[in-house]
Structure formats: structure tokens, C-alpha cells
A = this chain, B = another copy of it.
Amino acid sequence: MPDTFVLTLKCPDRIGIVAAVSTFLAEQGGWITEAHHHSDDRDGIFFMRQEMRADSIPSSIEEFRERFVPIAERFDMEWKITDRRQPKKVALLVSKHDHCLSDIFHRWRIGEYNIEITSVISNHPDCADLTAMHGIDYHHIPMTKDTKAAAFEEIEQCLEKEQPEVIVLARFMQIMPPHLCAKYDEQIINIHHGFLPSFSGAKPYHAAYDHGVKLIGATCHYVTEDLDAGPIIEQDVIRVDHAASARDMVTRGRDVERSVLSRGVRCHLEDRVIVHNNKTVVFG
């Protein structure tokens, strides 16, 4: 993991923001390793991400944050400063399919993701063994039409207890209730197995097959109350032709699903995503 601090912010755009922030960082001794900004012309919003070597900042992260407050107030910023050495706590929700789960486990195991996995929560038993292999707790919470409310209450209790900062729906085939979407705003990441806004909802590969599209895709997005309509973090597609059945699309789609999810999650974990107006700025 890089030994860095990350500052991200958004605020109304005006002249002097970059000057103020970079002068501040220079005064603090900050050795910047990566810097991005973006001005949204239409909405008049300015976005920034600065990554700097932690050892170049003599103060603690708490002091560093405190010193930044006056600038933040002056420019009316929404902001945060995080320490990339600190693993983020992540809960994983799955149903039956384990290709995304397996991929996330691997990236965690080889240190590509700096995370602590709080637990795996599932409405099915299928991924229990794989999870056990990795020494992670598995909460099997069965869910029928009638028990859905109770089951989600149980899920909420798990989350309450384990306090993850990020919730990844790694092919969790249930719709999150609105109050959980609101509670974990910009913290729940979903992978949808379709190229949104096409083919939202259930059975997207079958819909793609029926339409005769020549590319199928996957979309990683934050979960909001509007089904499959939250801010898109990452998307990708792969080529299919007339010879591909809906079943073939399901098989081949797995590869694009997990690569899109893995990139989306990585961007979120590295604080590269800023949400505004149901869209994302992703500083790649």
C-alpha cells in the first residue's frame, strides 16, 4: 500500500481554489504524488483529489485535518482527508454466484486491496465454503418473499455490529430497502450485469439476447433508492455475436462483471470517486 494521505473535495468553482490548496499543502511540506482536478462547467462545481506522501507531512493526520478547516470553510468545501495505509472495513453481500466474491478475496489476499473484510452475508448457503476457506465469517440469512423484511433487519443488525465503511453487493440478487440505501449513502457498491441504462432489473443477459445487441456489458454503481439508477462508477463491454446464446452471455459476462466491479471497488477504496448530482467524477 502506498504510504500516502488523500485529500478529496468539491466546492463551488471560483478563481483561487487550486492556489489556496496547493499553497497550504506546500506550507505543510506535502510531497504530492498525484493530483487531479475537474471543473464542471455546467453546474459550476470544482472537484479535486491530492495524494501526498504521509512521511512528508510532519503533523498527525488529525492536526493536518484541523489545519485544513479554514480553507475548507473559506471555499465552502465538502472534503475529507484519509490515510491510505489504514485498511477500509468492507462487508460483502452475495447470493449464489461466487465469481465476484472469489475475485475480491484474491485481490485482498495478494494485497491489491487494502481492506479488512468484516463478513460475508448471503441469502443462500452456496458461498459458505469458499468464505470459510478464507477464514471469514459467513452469515447465511435465508430470504423468502414473506421473510424479506425480517431478513433485511437481520442484515442491518450485522452491519450495525460490524461497522463496515463499504458494502459491496458482489452479485447480491435482492433489492436493498430504501432506508438502507439512505443510511449507507455512497457506501453501497453494486455490480449490475448489464450495460446501464439498458437492461436494468432482472435477467439483463436474456434481455440483451432478445434485442440482438452485439456487445454486452456490466455496470458498477452506487446503490440508491432508484433501482439500478445510482451514480455509475465504471462500465465495460465485451463483444458477442449471433452464435452466443443467452446462457453463453451469462458465462462470458462473468468476466466483465468481475473486472468492472474490481475496478469500481478499487477506485472507491482509493478515494478516487466523488459523487455529484447522481453522477461520478472518477480521478483514475
Q: Which residues of A line the B interface, CB within 8 A?
A: 15-16, 18-19, 22-23, 25-27, 29-42, 47, 56, 98-99, 102, 106, 110, 112, 133, 195-199, 211-215, 217, 231-237, 241-243, 245, 251, 255, 259, 262, 278-282, 284
Residues of chain B within 8 A (CB-CB) of A40 are 242
Copies per complex of this chain:
4
Residues of chain B within 8 A (CB-CB) of A255 are 259, 262
Question: Known contacts A211-B279, A212-B280; can you find 13 more A-B pairs with CB under 8 A?
Answer: A15-B31, A18-B18, A19-B19, A22-B23, A35-B37, A38-B242, A99-B110, A102-B102, A196-B198, A197-B213, A215-B217, A215-B235, A242-B281
Across the interface, do A212 and B39 meet the contact criterion of CB distance under 8 Å? no
Residue among B19, B133, B199 making CB contact with A22, cutoff 8 Å:
B19
The distance in angstroms between the C-alpha atoms of A210 and B215, with both chains bound, is 22
Given contacts A18-B18, A243-B34, contact A212 B198 (CB under 8 A): no
Least CB distance from A280 to B in Å reads 6
